[in-house]
Homo-oligomer: A and B are copies of this chain.
Amino acid sequence: MQKVVTFGEIMLRLKPRENERIIQTDSFSGLYGGAEANVAVSLALLGDNAQFVSKVPAHAIGQAALGALSCYGVDTSEIHRGGPRLGIYFFEKGASIRNTSVVYDRAGSSFAVAPAEEYDWDQILQDAGYFYFSGITPAISSALQKALLAACQYCAKHDIKVICDLNYRGKMWSPKDAQIAMAKLMPYVDICLAHDEDFEATLGIKAFDNDMSHGIEQRETFIQGMKEISRKYPKCQTVASILRDIHSVEDSKWTALMVDHGEVFQAPVYQMHVWEGVASGDAFGAGLVHGLVHHFSKEKMLNYALAASVLKLTISGDFNLVSDAEIQAVMAKQGNMRVLR
């Protein structure tokens, strides 16, 4: 089974217990996560050969982050130890009309301040079949943009498939900076995930009006945007998107689209009661990659990815702690009680 390499940051996530707010709590749950780390954990839990490449500090917090990955079977042999600190994010779950919010405390992390040369791609990628990163990684530092470019170039030479989740984060960089950076990387990308504001902020493509309460009805503009990505970056002939109607923190509808070599696929619509609305995009990406590795049909790949993604909404923490059997069970219930067609 070919190795999937993911490259990004892992952080400590601190969340107040029992729905408390940060300003009132004296008790935090402390878990670890990060977009590409989450993808690696998902793949490892699905039985794939997943390696996460990153850097964490050489103290107890760094070791705990490593342990959190090893625990679920991720290969951590290329996670470097050193540098000043592990990034942190405070996660405050919302309720009803009060949005979930995040306080980032990630500046100056070991991963952020490491030079591009830290990563020896010849060695890391020598037996890889897939390389996965999200738009968060290049947003962290120009060194990481350089490191990513080197990795992508290696992949291009050695026929390693590159998957990129655009994952725009407005708190980390501006659309302008994102577009400059991603324009250099997109030519190497084989499969692209673009959700919500990603189209416009990262690639300058208009596909979504930013009203999260009515994403699903914008199906056509999404499809146009997805096709536009393939036009602009011809290597990228597979583009996938999650579409949502978010009614409240607990209540939303989810579906997904994929455009593959011009052909359009749509997953079913799920009506969800959300426990924790975080990292479902990573779960979706991992589902797609799992489908790739196992040569699923495009339709199955998309449905599998969406089922994985909505399952994540029921899980505590960044990691999508579900099994292949559980994802398949969700898929099997389409048209049944729990899924809206």
Contact = CB atoms under 8 A, between A and B. Distances in A.
A54 B86 CA distance: 25
A221 interface: no
A21 B315 contact: yes
Interface in A325-341: 326, 329-330, 333, 336-339
Nearest to A250: B273
A240 B274 CA distance: 34
A26 B29 contact: yes
B96 A272 contact: yes
A1 interface: no
Given A248-B338, A336-B213, A338-B247, A24 B321 contact: yes
Contacts of A182: none
Residue among A28, A29, A96, A310 having the largest count of chain B Cβ atoms under 10 Å: A96
A2 interface: no
B73 A71 contact: no
B24 A316 contact: yes
B90 A60 contact: yes
Interface stretch (A102-110, A136-144, A287-295): A102-110
Interface stretch (A11-19, A199-207, A256-264): A11-19
Chain multiplicity (copies):
6
Interface stretch (A62-70, A162-170, A231-239): A62-70
B322 A18 contact: no
B97 A311 contact: yes
Contact of A97 (B60, B248, B270): B270
A212 B329 CA distance: 15
A287 to B, nearest CB: 15
A85 to B, nearest CB: 5
A213 to B, nearest CB: 2
A60 B14 contact: no
Contacts of A59: 103
B97 A23 contact: no
Contacts of A324: none
Given A18-B18, A311-B98, A67 B338 contact: no
Contacts of A214: 337
A21 B316 contact: yes
Contact of A30 (B14, B247, B270): B14
A251 interface: yes
Contacts of A71: 67-68, 70-71
A251 B251 CA distance: 12
Contacts of A247: 337-338
Contact of A61 (B22, B95, B270, B273): B22
A314 B96 contact: yes
A14 B29 CA distance: 11
A69 to B, nearest CB: 9
A20 interface: yes
A82 interface: no
A212 B326 contact: no
User: Nearest 9 CB-CB pairs, A to B?
Assistant: A213-B337, A95-B314, A71-B71, A22-B60, A98-B314, A96-B273, A67-B71, A95-B275, A23-B64
Given A22-B63, A95-B313, A248-B271, 6 more contacts: A17-B18, A18-B18, A22-B64, A96-B310, A96-B313, A97-B272
